[in-house]
Amino acid sequence: MRTGRLLTALLLCVASMAFGQESWLGVYLQGQKVGYSSYKATPDTLEGAAVTRTESLTVFASKMLGSALDLRIVSTSWLDAKGRPVQMRFVTTSSGRTQTVDAKFGPQSIAVAIDNSGNRSTKTLPIPPGAEIVDDATAAFLAGDRPAVGTKRTFYVLDPTTVSLIKNEAVYRGPARVKVRSNQVEAIQVDLIDPRASTKLFVSDKGDVVKIEGPLGLEMYPETKEVAMAEAPADGPRPDLAFATAIPTEPPLGDPNRITKLDLEIAGIDLGRMPSDRHQTVRRTGDVWQVKIHPVIGNPKTSKTIDAAAKDQPNWIKPSMHMPSDKTVFKKLAATLIGKEKNTLRAARKIKEHVESIMRPNAGIGVLRDAQEVLKTKEGVCRDYAILTGTLLRAARIPTRLVSGLVSQDGKFYYHAWVEVYTGAQWVGLDSTRPANDLTATHIKLAEGSVEEAFQFFVLDGAKIRVLGSS
């Protein structure tokens, strides 16, 4: 399950908000204390120029499929006189793994250095023309005269996990009443609309945080340092993210392995960015969405040779962030696994079966990891299985893209990840966490591509799923 990645994105977003010179927040998930966040801003100099240095720390402790899930996110920004980032640094740690991202901002691009548990890489991000990149999107609304209700501000934030720029929008909602624990409080509301997950920020007339509301029942309240840092009792209950974010269906689905076609009605969420292709058909009907899943069944007889498939889809055999398929270790292993097999689908299945055989589940890892570290440790969550599988497939020159989505189990949908390979005739899904060759009709795609695209997923917060039919 990849709910930990979802929470990391949200916590990083919240950690970038300015809460005053030094502030502390308690972090709660569905009413239970799960961590804290702090923020402070101080004058500083960087390369001889006067800047403002902002530092935030977010600590989160929960569970994932019964395993302890602990996240620690430290972010530092150096801002110029206009509040624009000059340099940023993010350090995310979970279960002994660390990803460090250093970003230096130029007039037209951002130079990024990534260290993923010792695996180093670089990336250059072009800045969209006219784009505003900010450390705090709410500052303009909360300083001076208040804007008109409904005023919007478009901006970009740097997502250090996928190392990409995410377009966001802040909307000034004006005066609002919000429940803060057991009390109704007058506040000013600003909505931060992110394509992955939206957040509501409630502040006082002075701009002090009253409450932050995120998806999945995540809430943050201002607290003293001592109260915020106080840990929940060690023997107390920890909410399990996988179960807390699972989406039930009405009526409940049976054994997913027996479902070859599935017809759903989904309400309460915009699915306009959801892929509609040979695997699934997505169509809006009034206020609801009709989603029909009819997975492609792989057929070696229609699969072309690896050379032919690679020629058709050359962009999907290239190495990319966290998928260094050009490394010798992956090329040698891929060649050993497929041997003399030339048929794309048969070769892909050999690699998928190998990953399934060597990997063991560890749901407590909340950091997005490089395939080199995954291969070395041979443990992880579904996204790690997918990244390792995809890297080996590309090393064998088999066109491959990552997929994030949902999968059914015990009558509910859980967040999940797998891969798709191009056989020269069609894209076919492979799930390295399960022994079956083909996907079930309960594999629902939310996003696809390399790491940057596939894991910029959106949250189905508040979605209602009704089963219209299955076979």
- pLDDT, tens digit, 9 for 90 and up, residues 240-257: 888 888 999 999 999 999
Question: In this predicted structure, what is the pLDDT of residue 8?
Answer: 53
Question: In this predicted structure, what is the pLDDT of residue 82?
Answer: 86
Burial of 31 (0-12, 13-18, 19+ CB in 10 A): exposed
Q: Which of 366, 385, 363 is CA-nearest to residue 375?
A: 385
Question: In this predicted structure, what is the pLDDT of residue 233?
Answer: 57
Answer whether residue 2 shows pLDDT above 50. no
The structure tokens 């899930």 sit at 69
Q: Which of 286, 255, 274, 253 is CA-nearest to residue 465?
A: 253
Question: In this predicted structure, what is the pLDDT of residue 236?
Answer: 63
The DSSP H or E segment spanning 395 is helix 382-395
Share of the chain above pLDDT 90, in %: 74
Q: What rounded mean pLDDT belongs to the chain? A: 91
Question: In this predicted structure, what is the pLDDT of residue 135?
Answer: 73
Please provide residue 181's backbone torsions phi and psi, each rounded to the nearest 5 degrees: 55, -110
DSSP string, 195-246: SS--EEEEE-TTS-EEEEE-GGGEEEEE--HHHHHPPPPTTS---BHHHHT-
For strand 247-250 and strand 262-267, is the pairing parallel, antiparallel, or unpaired? unpaired
Sequence-distant (6+) residues with CB within 8 A of 46 are 78, 86, 87
Q: Structure pTM?
A: 0.93
Q: Can you tell me the mean pLDDT for 254-268? A: 96
**Cβ 303 vs Cβ 283: under 8 Å:** no
Confidence of residue 21 (pLDDT cuts 50, 70, 90): low
Q: Domain 250-470 carries which CATH code?
A: 3.10.620.30
**Cβ 256 vs Cβ 407: under 8 Å:** yes
**Cβ 1 vs Cβ 412: under 8 Å:** no
> Could you report the per-residue pLDDT of 136-166, keeping only the tens digit for each?
667 666 666 788 999 999 999 899 989 999 9
Sequence-distant (6+) residues with CB within 8 A of 443 are 279, 293, 295, 405, 406, 407, 416, 418, 429, 431
Tell which wins on pLDDT, 37 or 444.
Answer: 444
What 3-state DSSP class applies to 460?
coil
Structural domain spans, the chain:
3-243, 250-470
Sequence letter at residue 63: K
DSSP string, 346-381: HHHHHHHHHHHHH-EE-TT--S---HHHHHHH-EE-
> Could you report the per-residue pLDDT of 362-393, keeping only the tens digit for each?
988 989 999 999 999 999 999 999 999 999 99
> Could you report the per-residue pLDDT of 214-250, keeping only the tens digit for each?
888 889 999 999 999 986 555 567 788 888 889 999 9
DSSP string, 260-272: S-EEEEEESS--T
